[in-house]
Chain A
Amino acid sequence: MKLKEWAFLFGFIAIGIITTNLIGYNTPITDSLMGVLILCSIAFIAVCVSKIIPLRLPMIIYCSILGLLIASPVSPIGDFVSDAAGNIDFKAPLTMVGALAGIAIGASVREFTKLSWRIVVVALVVMASTFIGSVIIAQIVLNITN
């Protein structure tokens, strides 16, 4: 995807986030504006960085690292960025994610109904044991290192 297209799509997503923040969390548009601008700008920078750096890491990782660096205490604009982003409820970007993800997996339904019930059981156990396994290890290590 070209950078211009990313920029355009981030614009669309930004409108979605502002709308969610308005309807779902009663935050006036003017309060959301700067926060959304910052989130989408950093995401856009992450896209640029992922295109420049030759490591084949997912773009999402750059988003996370850049967000952390720009808001960290060593960053001169850290406080400003944290305050502005604080106006965006953390759940606000997710409604648009859900809507698009739903549309994106809409064609998997038929494939899904073809699967035997056995794989459905296995899949649920896979998801549950991954989560519970990690929680147990985290709990044990936290107890030890506390």
Chain B
Amino acid sequence: MEEGYQSIADRVKKEYKIYISAFSVLILSELIGEIEVNFGPGMLILFPLFYGIIIGVLLGPDLIGFFKNEEVEAASPLVLVAIAPFIVNIGITAAQDLPLLISVGPALLLAEFGNLFTVLIALPLALFLGLKREAVGATHSINRETNLALITNVYGPNSPELRGTLAVYIMGGLFGTIFFGFLASLVASTDLFHPHALAIGAGVGAGIMMAAATTSLAHIYPAYADDILALGGAGDMLTGMTGLYAAIFIALPLANKIYQLLEPRIGRKKKSTVKKEETDYEA
């Protein structure tokens, strides 16, 4: 977070292009408004939030090139500033729904273990597709910032585990928001789950993904809109506090166990890119 700006004037001088563009993108996105697209059993609800992401990415150094790498880097901390008022608002909504939050407390806390499904389902798949140690990093969690920090810490910055984590992190950043909005509507369309359960599941540990999922859900279940926001926000907050510990003490050891068990059986013959350092991961 330390950009080393001398003063606010210095910051504005370096970042004014971001401010003006973000503001213009915001106006454009709002003028387009919400669009609903029926998509199989689910519904793709396009919100101004998504247009913002897409236009922002298009302007970036790898595509149109309107923004340079330094500007892209400077925009990262600004995302945190922008999402803060949203999270405050969710907290305020939660205050009115306090009795509900308390009554579903156990479900909120235990939903954290849903992360273990990720290891159980995605890890075997990754091994089947031929990934080696990358698979452990990629599938131990949904791989947001805290997980990136954790894996760097445990396996080191040049580890295959971190490559896996980084890959899912980038995917989540580029597509996670849109994917989550769609996923939420798709799962809702099965009618198997109560809106409360769906909302709790939306709190997966990335504010912007939670926002996309709860936005879609609130749109589908207008009568539950406030509940959905409160539960999604509370789930996200709890994951923020417990997620790191769940990853260290449960998900990562579990992922390593499954890796040892399954890799010799379903892993592709192809030699691991990792050579033989596979044994020192528990250090």
Contacts and interface: CB of A to CB of B under 8 A. Distances in A.
A130 to B, nearest CB: 5
B56 A5 contact: no
Interface in A52-102: 57-61, 63-73, 78, 81-82, 85, 88, 90-91, 93-102
5 contacts: A1-B2, A99-B21, A101-B208, A103-B60, A138-B104
B207 interface: yes
Given A108-B170, A138-B196, A91 B215 contact: yes
A58 B183 CA distance: 27
A98 B83 contact: no
A106 B91 CA distance: 30
Contact of B72 (A61, A106, A141): A106
Nearest to A61: B240
Nearest to B8: A8
Contact of A139 (B8, B176, B197): B197
Interface range for B: 35 or more
Contacts of B159: none
A12 B26 contact: no
Given A65-B91, A101-B79, A105-B57, 13 more contacts: A13-B85, A47-B84, A64-B90, A68-B98, A78-B95, A85-B92, A94-B208, A99-B23, A105-B53, A109-B174, A125-B125, A134-B200, A134-B201
Contact of A64 (B58, B88, B187, B209): B88
Interface residues on A, range: 35 or more
B102 to A, nearest CB: 11
Contacts of B27: 19, 23
Contact of B170 (A6, A17, A23, A111): A111
Nearest to B31: A23
B180 A94 contact: no
Given A5-B8, A23-B27, A122-B126, A82 B95 contact: yes
Given A16-B22, A19-B27, A73-B98, A5 B11 contact: yes
A28 interface: no
B173 interface: yes
Contact of B91 (A63, A78, A136): A63
Interface in B43-75: 47-63, 67, 69, 71-73, 75
B40 interface: no
A94 B241 contact: no
B92 A5 contact: no
A104 B76 contact: yes
Contact of A131 (B95, B204, B240): B204
Given A64-B233, A132-B117, A103 B49 contact: no
B142 interface: yes
A39 interface: yes
B86 A94 contact: yes
B30 interface: yes
A127 B176 contact: yes
A94 B48 contact: yes
B87 interface: yes
Nearest to A126: B122
Interface string A13-37: 1111101100110000000000010
A61 B118 contact: no
Contacts of B61: 106-107
B85 A130 contact: no
Contact of A4 (B8, B62, B110, B138): B8
Given A104-B56, A108-B170, A19 B88 contact: no
A39 B88 contact: yes
A99 B72 contact: no
Contact of A98 (B52, B69, B233, B236): B52
